[in-house]
Amino acid sequence: MARGEGSKRFDDFDARVRKLRADARLPDPDADAEQPRPPKMIGGAGLQVGIELFAGVAGGALIGYGLDRWLGTWPILFLVMFFLGAAGGMLNAWRYIRRATAAAEEETRARKGAPR
């Protein structure tokens, strides 16, 4: 049952668990909520940035290759679209990093109680 539904049996059980935790010198799980947490998804953010970069380059190269084959202008459109895709991928990666950094800074400020 949830903590808010305090029946007598559950209150006794909670009291016994707290006493056992104190006797064993285990940390109180309610006290952990106040401690700072490590940043979320550090590896996930790096993976997202890599995907953004790869998708831009690969997408631009494939579109350029297809247009060159269709129009018979090999390497011109391939190179143009490759570099445009690379620039777009870098722009998307930069935007993602900027958003992630702003969110992390906002979370840090909220934890410390500092004004915006």
Looking at the structure of the chain, the number of domains it has is 1
Of 54, 63, 62, 42, the C-alpha closest to 92 is: 54
pLDDT at 110: 84
Please indicate, yes or no, if residue 79 is contained in any of the structural domains: yes
- Who contacts 27 (Cβ-Cβ below 8 Å, separation ≥6)? 21
Give yes or no for a contact between 10 and 1, defined as CB atoms under 8 angstroms apart.
Answer: yes
Please indicate, yes or no, if residue 30 is contained in any of the structural domains: no
Range of the domain at 94: 42-116
Residues 49-104 have pLDDT tens digits of 999 999 999 999 999 999 999 999 999 999 999 999 999 999 999 999 999 888 88
**DSSP per residue, 48-88:** HHHHHHHHHHHHHHHHHHHHHHHHT-TTHHHHHHHHHHHHH
Residues 12-32 have pLDDT tens digits of 888 888 888 888 888 777 665
